[in-house]
Amino acid sequence: MDSTAFSSLAASRHSVRDFLPDPIASDVLDSILEDVSNAPSWSNTRPYMLALASGEQADRLRSAYVEAWKKWLAQMAKDKNADANGPTEGLPDGDYEGWRPYPDELRARSVDLGKKLYGHLDIGREDRERRNALSRRNYEAFGAPIIGFVFVRGDFMPWAAMDAGLMLQTLFLSAKVRGVDSCPLGLLSFWRSPVDAEFDVPEDYKLLTGFALGYASDAHINSFAAPRPKIGLIVSKK
């Protein structure tokens, strides 16, 4: 295999934030999922499952997630400490507390990304209406024809999460080589109930993340790509 071909493929894939409604042909999706079976796995355990929604089911999920998000916004407006005060209607009911504060080092990277994205879209810091509109698009999976959900064995962490990451990157690259774009959607893991209403998820599996698959539109937002810093290397003691 030409090494430059892989490098070009990896560099060309980025998170798309506005999709065309065009469906992904079943044979294309089948080929992507076939490639996923080649992802490496800890002791070949493959402790993950996918749930894929399209058509009316995907639309129901979009509506359910937007409603949950709107209730959360309303609750947070009433009580700034709502998350810390325990379960309340509208608050996230996901398996993992993804909405908790990031460690300082990681938060700095996230803040930098947010500034660059909002700057690309000319959304000011105080423009709450446009910021909320962009947040809402996350819960709508940016209009993608396929919304995916990654479930992992909760009793096999962290290896299950590691394997799921390897699997999802394999899926994204397989999709890209076929002209299909993608976007990981960690925010969809904040709520579990919309997915449970649509899928019969095995008891031992926890919702790790969502993702979107489809074809990028020519919207301005899709010309944005996140910075890609070099991987950090730990210095040897000797």
Instruction: Write out the chain's pLDDT in tens, 238 residues.
Output: 788 999 999 999 999 999 999 999 999 999 999 999 999 999 999 999 999 999 999 999 999 999 999 998 888 777 665 554 444 566 889 999 877 788 999 999 999 999 999 999 999 989 999 999 999 999 999 999 999 999 999 999 999 999 999 999 999 999 999 999 999 999 999 999 999 999 999 999 999 999 999 999 999 999 999 999 999 999 999 8
According to DSSP, residue 232 is labeled P
User: What pLDDT was estimated at residue 81?
Assistant: 58
Shortest CA distance to 71 belongs to which of 87, 50, 89?
89
Other residues' Cβ atoms within 10 Å of the Cβ of residue 84: 8
Q: Tens digits of per-residue pLDDT, 168-223? A: 999 999 999 999 999 999 999 999 999 999 999 999 999 999 999 999 999 999 99
User: What pLDDT was estimated at residue 86?
Assistant: 47
User: What pLDDT was estimated at residue 88?
Assistant: 56
Q: At what angle do helices 159-177 and 26-36 cross, to 10 degrees?
A: 140
pTM of the predicted structure, to 2 decimals: 0.92
Query: How far is it, in rounded angstroms, from Cα 237 to Cα 219?
Result: 49
Residue 196 CA from chain centroid, whole number: 18
User: What pLDDT was estimated at residue 90?
Assistant: 63
CA dihedral 114, 115, 121, 123 (to 10 degrees): 100
Q: What are the structure tokens assigned to 9, written together?
A: 């493929």
Contact 168, 211 (CB under 8 A): yes
Q: What are the structure tokens assigned to 147, written together?
A: 């919304």
User: What pLDDT was estimated at residue 24?
Assistant: 98
Q: How many residues does the chain have?
A: 238
| Helix, coil or strand: residue 90 | coil
| Helix, coil or strand: residue 60 | helix
Q: What are the structure tokens assigned to 218, written together?
A: 């020519």
Q: Where are the domains of the chain?
A: 17-223
Shortest CA distance to 151 belongs to which of 161, 141, 142, 159?
161
CATH topology of domain 17-223: NADH Oxidase (3.40.109)
